[in-house]
A and B are shown apart, each in its own frame.
Chain A
Amino acid sequence: MPHQADTPAPAVELSGITKRFPGVIANSDVNITVRAGTVHALVGENGAGKSTLMKILYGMQPPDEGTIAVDGHPVSFGSPADAIRAGIGMVHQHFMLADNLTVLENVVLGSEPRKGLGLDFAAARAKIRQISDAYGLGVRPDRLVDDLGVGERQRVEILKVLYRGARTLILDEPTAVLVPQEVDELFGNLRDLKAEGLTILFISHKLDEVLSVADDITVMRRGTTVASVSPSGVTARKLAELMVGSELPVPELRESTVTDQAVLDVRGLTVVGADGRTVLDDVSFTIHAGEVLGIAGVEGNGQAELVEALMGIRVPTAGKITLADRDITRASTRHRREAGMGYVPEDRHRQGVLLEATLWENRVLGHQTRPPNARGPLLDRRGAKADTRRIVEEYDVRTPGIEVNAAALSGGNQQKLIVGREMSGDPVVLIASHPTRGVDVGAQAAIWEHIRRARADRLAVLLISADLDELIGMSDTLAVILRGRLVADHDPATVTPEQLGSAMTGAGRED
């Protein structure tokens, strides 16, 4: 594509976009101008209409009103294929990669290079290497996607879009799944892409990230664009106000409620992965009643294995787990749950909910052996439904009823249902993995408040989070996990996110 030296036309210009769903206006009179060769951030709470707008720009839904112009030319997209042809590519929040294929195969999938009747993998491999080198993505074409970490998978997604000739990239909450160091790497990549003349449209609700990487910021609220600002002229606080009309909630604990009664005691817990690698190495800790133990770490350093070993989903190779003086090392997941272990999983769609089951059936999930959901071998449907109504009420799950499928709710509301369910039935310990990931500020504040209240009520909590402010604010004790080992303890009252971040990467350690 030839570059115009003098003031190029905007890469993307959306004007007057309106999109109505029956009864709801998802977008109304949205105006955004994205300058070519810039990183443009689109911020707003969940439900502010960002996703709908991006679906419109990516050709997944037609707008009811308004126009889209790409590089100054008006366009109308009937499908994502049209958008891709116009040079617009999208990197979804949830990766769309086939684990059992290589990077090369994933990238060419759907636009396979042909040579005669066969596939020209050599040409594709060369092209992938060339793109990877040009933008510093560090993607190796012949690795199996299954072996890649989250950050690498994301770079593969970006490369996939570039491979198809995109000049404008839409990134939908790309940092939601990343830890700070990976976020820095991603931002480095974005700057490289920008330097090469590409345009990035970056969707986020993390304000400090937006301020550090964006050239322009557009704020959306209630389906419309409320402000266009430059990062130099705005503070995080000001942005937050624009987004929600008020200040962001702060994670913090009030007075200490830690008792000397040990609830969950873990000694020498070791997990060896299927490939023979030690993924969890001699981990020991104790959580007392009324205590929140926070675990900080870069994703993939054994947190998932720790949680699954604690819940009995994964069999530990060595070690001992004691719950309220009872050895549960060999107990089944059901027994652990019945003994009072609550579980808020990291990936709610994978482990937390049945999307195609009703809310009350989801209330039963994981609690199917206990009142109010069961009487002996029979389900207590009435009891389960009544208790679901209570959770919906107390946890402010926004739903018209309990007979709708979980898939119909927004992620934040699904999460509130999960937290409500796991807090039911008097748990003695809660294993919470990223309890507020992907939820909006209001829901986040509500979930924090519920954890605080349960903690005051002598609940022991293991909190794993990639949000360092949340970890520092919500924990009584902080430990850092690195390559499967607990390497350092920190006092949440004095530690800074920067100190924690460097401990997480192993910087400043002697070995």
Chain B
Amino acid sequence: MRKLSPRSVLLGLAAPVGALVFALLVCAAILALTGKSPADTIDAMATATQRPRTIANSINSATTYYLAAVAVAIGFKMKLFNIGVDGQYRMAAMLSAALAGATFMSGVPQFLRIAMTIVAAMLVGAAWAGLAALLKVTRGVSEVISTIMLNAIATYLVSYLLNPARLAQATAGSNNISTRRIDAGGQVPGLPYPGSTSKVFGLIFLAVLVGVLYWFVLSRTRFGFELKATGLSESAAVASGVSVKRMVVYSMLISGAVAGLVGMPQLLGSSYGYALDFPPGLGFIGIAVALLGRNHPVGMAVSALLWGYLDNTANSLDVAGIPREIVAIMQGVIVLSVVAAYELVRRYRVRAEQQEVGRALGRTKTLEEVSS
């Protein structure tokens, strides 16, 4: 929204960095109180960082988190709270996995097959979010309530469909059931990461593309302008010829479509099927990442990386005898304190700018000056 000046960049960083430091202090205090050594924890995390695998996995988690965050941010930008990203991506991942793994898909060329899978996921995600949009514009149902309920419905619908009698089959030698495995012709090859057997999701490029499109649409198009205007003041947007109902529908559909992408890197890059152990809860992580990244395309990328990194170093804490839950505590504290910090910075900004304007202008003109 504003020009980059050293001061505004510094102000922009003050809140997240401050929140991070605060969260570190809180966690250190909790560790110390429970008789664990904060130094050991940092040590364990630092050791984990040196393993290339941790980094590769962090990047992979971040890819997923970033897509979830963008999905949430599209709604946030117009004060629409799409809490349903979680249900949307699970429905989308499940149904597109069934499509991609279907026998008739084997004959389709790889590129087309991947494209079809992704488009199907976007359509399913958009449709699931569209239900909430429809309820909001026709019946005035709060999207918060409806998307939370749709999450629950999605959970049951997915477990109903993920059944050998329907879209799934039992995995040999385990209790897991999964959609039919997507064979090599439908997979997205990963990128090797030096020193690690884990590959980086090939669909990281999809996440980057989504980020670039998000930035472009919001700051360069009329649609993006109307979206932001609606978020800043619905009444002003209406008076300016923006159809708020239409904006609600469009932004929910787009948010849902992006939510549909959330499961794709994992599905096409590593799981190759939607199984009982497909990662849940990504939609809620998306909310936290979007909050921390302030809905900014780059900010959300940084916070997605941080989130992924924290999640993946948590594993190494167990080894060091430190409860891994400390990472969840830290993430929670970061989100809570960053929300408070952003508000403080925002108020400071408004005041500073008013003073700046006052300083630049001196006093109001008197009548003589105006009429002369």
Q: Is A403 an interface residue (CB 8 A)?
A: yes
Chain B 212-242, CB-CB to A under 8 Å as 1, else 0, gives 0000000111111110110011011011111
Q: Is B10 an interface residue (CB 8 A)?
A: no
B320 to nearest A CB, angstroms? 46
Contact of B240 among A22, A45, A337, A404 (CB under 8 A): A337
Cα-based distance from A247 to B370 in the complex (angstroms): 13
Q: Is A345 an interface residue (CB 8 A)?
A: yes
Cα-based distance from A24 to B360 in the complex (angstroms): 9
Q: Is A374 an interface residue (CB 8 A)?
A: yes
Contact of B361 among A249, A398, A403 (CB under 8 A): A398
Most buried by B among A313, A355, A379, A399: A379
Q: Which residue of A lies closest to B235 (CB)?
A: A350
Contacts of B355 in A (CB 8 A): 21-24
| Given A352-B239, A407-B354, A445-B370: A368 touches B3 (CB 8 Å cut-off) | no
B103 to nearest A CB, angstroms? 41
| CB atoms of A351 and B1 under 8 A apart | no
Contacts of B356 in A (CB 8 A): 400, 404, 408
Cα-based distance from A351 to B243 in the complex (angstroms): 14
| CB atoms of A246 and B367 under 8 A apart | yes
Contacts of B224 in A (CB 8 A): 379
Q: Which residue of A lies closest to B243 (CB)?
A: A332
| CB atoms of A361 and B225 under 8 A apart | yes
| Given A354-B233, A357-B229: A366 touches B357 (CB 8 Å cut-off) | no
| Given A22-B355, A446-B370: A333 touches B363 (CB 8 Å cut-off) | no
CB-contacts of A428-452 with B (<8 A): 440-442, 445-446
| CB atoms of A245 and B367 under 8 A apart | yes
Cα-based distance from A353 to B236 in the complex (angstroms): 6
Cα-based distance from A335 to B240 in the complex (angstroms): 10
Q: Is B33 an interface residue (CB 8 A)?
A: no
Please report whether the interface of chain B is mostly helix, strand, loop or mixed according to DSSP: helix
| CB atoms of B239 and A333 under 8 A apart | yes
Cα-based distance from A361 to B355 in the complex (angstroms): 21
B interface size (C-beta, 8 A): 43
Q: Is A364 an interface residue (CB 8 A)?
A: yes
Q: Is A46 an interface residue (CB 8 A)?
A: yes
Cα-based distance from A311 to B239 in the complex (angstroms): 8
Cα-based distance from A368 to B224 in the complex (angstroms): 11
Contacts of A21 in B (CB 8 A): 355, 358-359
Cα-based distance from A409 to B367 in the complex (angstroms): 19
Q: Is B368 an interface residue (CB 8 A)?
A: yes
Contacts of B238 in A (CB 8 A): 313, 333, 351
Chain B 339-356, CB-CB to A under 8 Å as 1, else 0, gives 000000000001001111
Chain B 360-372, CB-CB to A under 8 Å as 1, else 0, gives 1111111111110
Q: Is B139 an interface residue (CB 8 A)?
A: no
Cα-based distance from A459 to B26 in the complex (angstroms): 64
Q: Which residue of B lies closest to A399 (CB)?
A: B357
Q: Is B7 an interface residue (CB 8 A)?
A: no
Contacts of B241 in A (CB 8 A): 312, 332-338, 366, 368-369
Q: Is B2 an interface residue (CB 8 A)?
A: yes
Q: Is A343 an interface residue (CB 8 A)?
A: yes
Contacts of A100 in B (CB 8 A): none
B70 to nearest A CB, angstroms? 20
14 A-B residue pairs with CB within 8 Å? A21-B358, A47-B363, A352-B236, A355-B232, A358-B1, A358-B2, A364-B225, A366-B240, A368-B240, A378-B222, A400-B361, A403-B3, A410-B364, A442-B369
Top 6 closest pairs, chain A to chain B, by CB = A334-B241, A23-B359, A400-B360, A47-B364, A366-B240, A351-B239
